[in-house]
Structure 1
Amino acid sequence: MATSASGPEVDDLWDEFHRVVNMTSKELGDWLNTRSAGEETETLPDEAGTPTGRQVLSVLGKRKTDLQDDDLRVMQKVVDRVHAERRDDLEPTQGQASWRHRLMSIGHDPLKPV
Protein backbone atom coordinates (compact mmCIF):
# COMPACT_ATOMS: atom_id res chain seq x y z
CA MET A 1 0.00 0.00 0.00
CA ALA A 2 1.42 3.38 -0.97
CA THR A 3 1.78 6.16 1.53
CA SER A 4 -0.71 8.98 1.73
CA ALA A 5 2.19 11.43 1.82
CA SER A 6 2.43 13.44 -1.35
CA GLY A 7 3.02 16.94 -2.47
CA PRO A 8 5.99 19.24 -2.75
CA GLU A 9 7.86 17.76 0.25
CA VAL A 10 7.80 14.25 -1.23
CA ASP A 11 8.70 15.63 -4.67
CA ASP A 12 11.67 17.53 -3.22
CA LEU A 13 12.85 14.50 -1.22
CA TRP A 14 12.49 12.26 -4.29
CA ASP A 15 14.56 14.66 -6.41
CA GLU A 16 17.27 15.13 -3.77
CA PHE A 17 17.47 11.40 -3.03
CA HIS A 18 17.98 10.66 -6.71
CA ARG A 19 20.61 13.42 -6.90
CA VAL A 20 22.71 12.12 -3.97
CA VAL A 21 22.25 8.44 -4.85
CA ASN A 22 24.47 8.57 -7.91
CA MET A 23 24.94 4.83 -8.31
CA THR A 24 22.57 2.81 -10.49
CA SER A 25 20.62 -0.11 -9.01
CA LYS A 26 23.01 -2.50 -10.74
CA GLU A 27 26.10 -0.70 -9.42
CA LEU A 28 24.70 -0.62 -5.88
CA GLY A 29 23.56 -4.25 -6.02
CA ASP A 30 26.96 -5.37 -7.30
CA TRP A 31 28.70 -3.30 -4.60
CA LEU A 32 26.54 -4.73 -1.81
CA ASN A 33 27.20 -8.27 -3.05
CA THR A 34 30.95 -7.60 -3.29
CA ARG A 35 31.13 -6.08 0.19
CA SER A 36 29.24 -9.03 1.70
CA ALA A 37 31.31 -11.74 0.07
CA GLY A 38 34.00 -13.12 2.31
CA GLU A 39 36.64 -15.78 1.95
CA GLU A 40 34.50 -18.39 3.68
CA THR A 41 30.99 -17.03 3.30
CA GLU A 42 28.78 -15.91 0.48
CA THR A 43 25.72 -13.89 1.50
CA LEU A 44 22.42 -14.59 -0.22
CA PRO A 45 21.80 -11.87 -2.83
CA ASP A 46 18.70 -10.49 -1.08
CA GLU A 47 20.64 -10.30 2.21
CA ALA A 48 23.80 -8.66 0.86
CA GLY A 49 24.98 -5.37 2.27
CA THR A 50 23.69 -3.22 5.07
CA PRO A 51 19.98 -2.94 5.85
CA THR A 52 20.05 0.70 4.69
CA GLY A 53 21.81 -0.26 1.48
CA ARG A 54 19.16 -2.90 0.76
CA GLN A 55 16.42 -0.33 1.48
CA VAL A 56 18.05 2.14 -0.94
CA LEU A 57 18.14 -0.59 -3.57
CA SER A 58 14.44 -1.23 -2.97
CA VAL A 59 13.57 2.48 -3.32
CA LEU A 60 15.53 2.70 -6.57
CA GLY A 61 13.20 0.05 -7.98
CA LYS A 62 10.01 1.96 -7.11
CA ARG A 63 7.94 4.66 -8.67
CA LYS A 64 7.31 7.77 -6.60
CA THR A 65 3.62 6.86 -6.33
CA ASP A 66 4.53 3.49 -4.74
CA LEU A 67 6.57 4.93 -1.86
CA GLN A 68 5.68 3.94 1.67
CA ASP A 69 6.47 5.75 4.91
CA ASP A 70 9.50 3.52 5.54
CA ASP A 71 10.83 4.44 2.08
CA LEU A 72 10.50 8.15 2.86
CA ARG A 73 12.36 7.66 6.15
CA VAL A 74 15.27 5.85 4.50
CA MET A 75 15.37 8.41 1.69
CA GLN A 76 15.64 11.26 4.23
CA LYS A 77 18.27 9.34 6.21
CA VAL A 78 20.42 8.85 3.10
CA VAL A 79 20.07 12.47 1.99
CA ASP A 80 21.00 13.71 5.48
CA ARG A 81 23.97 11.35 5.76
CA VAL A 82 25.40 12.22 2.35
CA HIS A 83 25.05 15.95 3.06
CA ALA A 84 26.65 15.53 6.50
CA GLU A 85 29.69 13.83 4.95
CA ARG A 86 29.95 15.85 1.72
CA ARG A 87 29.87 19.43 0.52
CA ASP A 88 26.58 20.58 -0.96
CA ASP A 89 27.98 20.73 -4.49
CA LEU A 90 28.79 16.97 -4.36
CA GLU A 91 31.79 17.48 -6.65
CA PRO A 92 33.87 14.30 -7.08
CA THR A 93 36.16 14.04 -4.06
CA GLN A 94 38.98 11.67 -3.16
CA GLY A 95 38.91 10.54 0.45
CA GLN A 96 39.85 7.56 2.57
CA ALA A 97 38.74 4.22 1.17
CA SER A 98 36.66 3.38 4.25
CA TRP A 99 34.78 6.70 3.96
CA ARG A 100 34.10 6.12 0.25
CA HIS A 101 32.99 2.53 0.88
CA ARG A 102 30.58 3.61 3.64
CA LEU A 103 28.96 6.11 1.28
CA MET A 104 28.88 3.61 -1.57
CA SER A 105 26.99 1.20 0.70
CA ILE A 106 24.08 3.68 0.65
CA GLY A 107 24.33 4.41 -3.08
CA HIS A 108 26.64 7.44 -3.20
CA ASP A 109 30.04 7.19 -4.85
CA PRO A 110 32.02 10.34 -3.95
CA LEU A 111 34.29 9.85 -6.96
CA LYS A 112 31.40 9.79 -9.42
CA PRO A 113 29.93 13.05 -10.76
CA VAL A 114 26.30 13.72 -9.89
Structure 2
Amino acid sequence: MSDDERQTRDDFADAVNMTASELRKWLDTDESKEVGQKSGGSTESTGHQSGRHIVRILEKRQSEYTEADYAHMRKVVGYVARHAKQRPHGDVHDTPWRWSLMNWGNDPEKH
Protein backbone atom coordinates (compact mmCIF):
# COMPACT_ATOMS: atom_id res chain seq x y z
CA MET A 1 0.00 0.00 0.00
CA SER A 2 1.33 3.40 -0.94
CA ASP A 3 1.63 6.40 1.36
CA ASP A 4 -0.90 8.18 -0.87
CA GLU A 5 -3.45 5.40 -0.38
CA ARG A 6 -2.83 5.41 3.38
CA GLN A 7 -3.28 9.20 3.52
CA THR A 8 -6.44 8.98 1.42
CA ARG A 9 -7.91 6.35 3.76
CA ASP A 10 -7.02 8.43 6.83
CA ASP A 11 -8.52 11.60 5.35
CA PHE A 12 -11.65 9.69 4.32
CA ALA A 13 -12.02 8.25 7.83
CA ASP A 14 -11.79 11.78 9.24
CA ALA A 15 -14.36 13.16 6.78
CA VAL A 16 -16.91 10.33 6.96
CA ASN A 17 -18.26 10.05 10.49
CA MET A 18 -21.37 8.01 9.69
CA THR A 19 -21.42 4.21 9.63
CA ALA A 20 -22.59 2.29 6.58
CA SER A 21 -25.88 1.46 8.32
CA GLU A 22 -26.45 5.07 9.45
CA LEU A 23 -25.76 6.35 5.95
CA ARG A 24 -27.93 3.70 4.28
CA LYS A 25 -30.84 4.60 6.60
CA TRP A 26 -30.31 8.33 5.93
CA LEU A 27 -30.25 7.84 2.15
CA ASP A 28 -33.75 6.32 2.38
CA THR A 29 -35.24 9.55 3.82
CA ASP A 30 -37.14 12.16 1.86
CA GLU A 31 -34.77 14.85 3.17
CA SER A 32 -31.79 13.02 1.71
CA LYS A 33 -33.47 12.76 -1.67
CA GLU A 34 -34.55 16.45 -1.66
CA VAL A 35 -31.12 18.07 -1.56
CA GLY A 36 -28.28 18.35 -4.00
CA GLN A 37 -27.69 19.02 -7.65
CA LYS A 38 -29.10 16.68 -10.23
CA SER A 39 -27.30 16.55 -13.55
CA GLY A 40 -27.93 15.10 -16.97
CA GLY A 41 -31.66 14.67 -16.38
CA SER A 42 -30.99 12.32 -13.47
CA THR A 43 -33.58 12.09 -10.72
CA GLU A 44 -30.84 11.36 -8.17
CA SER A 45 -28.50 14.08 -6.91
CA THR A 46 -24.73 13.79 -7.14
CA GLY A 47 -24.54 13.68 -3.33
CA HIS A 48 -27.08 10.87 -3.10
CA GLN A 49 -25.13 8.85 -5.66
CA SER A 50 -21.99 9.59 -3.66
CA GLY A 51 -23.64 8.33 -0.49
CA ARG A 52 -24.43 5.00 -2.12
CA HIS A 53 -20.78 4.68 -3.24
CA ILE A 54 -19.59 5.57 0.28
CA VAL A 55 -21.77 2.78 1.73
CA ARG A 56 -20.14 0.31 -0.68
CA ILE A 57 -16.67 1.53 0.33
CA LEU A 58 -17.46 1.28 4.04
CA GLU A 59 -18.68 -2.28 3.59
CA LYS A 60 -15.48 -3.43 1.85
CA ARG A 61 -12.22 -4.61 3.31
CA GLN A 62 -9.40 -2.15 2.68
CA SER A 63 -7.65 -4.78 0.57
CA GLU A 64 -10.65 -4.72 -1.79
CA TYR A 65 -10.50 -0.97 -2.52
CA THR A 66 -10.21 -0.13 -6.21
CA GLU A 67 -8.69 2.91 -7.87
CA ALA A 68 -12.25 4.18 -8.36
CA ASP A 69 -12.84 3.82 -4.62
CA TYR A 70 -9.70 5.82 -3.83
CA ALA A 71 -10.71 8.48 -6.36
CA HIS A 72 -14.15 8.71 -4.77
CA MET A 73 -12.62 8.93 -1.28
CA ARG A 74 -10.56 11.92 -2.41
CA LYS A 75 -13.69 13.52 -3.90
CA VAL A 76 -15.57 13.00 -0.61
CA VAL A 77 -12.75 14.52 1.44
CA GLY A 78 -12.68 17.60 -0.79
CA TYR A 79 -16.45 18.04 -0.79
CA VAL A 80 -16.79 17.71 2.99
CA ALA A 81 -13.94 20.18 3.57
CA ARG A 82 -15.41 22.78 1.19
CA HIS A 83 -19.03 22.38 2.27
CA ALA A 84 -18.24 22.40 6.01
CA LYS A 85 -16.75 25.90 5.61
CA GLN A 86 -20.13 27.14 4.35
CA ARG A 87 -21.92 26.38 7.65
CA PRO A 88 -24.89 28.73 8.11
CA HIS A 89 -25.46 30.59 11.37
CA GLY A 90 -27.80 29.20 13.99
CA ASP A 91 -29.31 25.76 14.39
CA VAL A 92 -28.38 23.58 11.42
CA HIS A 93 -30.31 20.46 12.44
CA ASP A 94 -33.07 20.65 9.80
CA THR A 95 -31.20 22.44 7.04
CA PRO A 96 -30.36 21.48 3.47
CA TRP A 97 -26.72 22.31 4.34
CA ARG A 98 -26.59 19.51 6.94
CA TRP A 99 -28.60 17.11 4.81
CA SER A 100 -26.24 17.60 1.89
CA LEU A 101 -23.21 16.86 4.08
CA MET A 102 -24.95 13.78 5.42
CA ASN A 103 -25.41 12.49 1.85
CA TRP A 104 -21.61 12.62 1.68
CA GLY A 105 -21.27 10.64 4.94
CA ASN A 106 -20.62 13.55 7.30
CA ASP A 107 -23.10 14.51 10.02
CA PRO A 108 -21.85 17.85 11.40
CA GLU A 109 -23.85 17.26 14.58
CA LYS A 110 -22.05 13.98 15.30
CA HIS A 111 -18.82 14.12 17.25
2:74 to 73, 76, 100: 76
Q: CA RMSD in A?
A: 2.4
- So what's the TM-score if we normalise by structure 2? 0.75
Corresponding residue number in structure 1 for 2:38: none
CA contact 1:56–1:106 (8 Å) conserved in 2: yes
1:56 CA displacement:
0.5
1:24 to 10, 19, 28: 19
Corresponding residue number in structure 2 for 1:106: 104
Letter in 1 for 2:65: L
Q: Deviations over 1:51-74 (max 9, x none)?
A: 111000000011221111111111
CA contact 1:28–1:105 (8 Å) conserved in 2: yes
Choose 1 or 2 for highest CA Rg.
1
Inter-CA distance 98–66: structure 2 relative to 1 (3 Å threshold): same
Matches within 5 A, 1:55-70: 55-70=53-68
Unaligned runs of 5+ in 1: 1-5, 39-46, 88-92
Tell me, what secondary structure is at the counterpart of 1:50?
helix
Counting matched residue pairs gives 94
Give structure 1 regions of 4+ aligned residues with deviation exceeding 6 angstroms.
none
- So what's the TM-score if we normalise by structure 1? 0.73
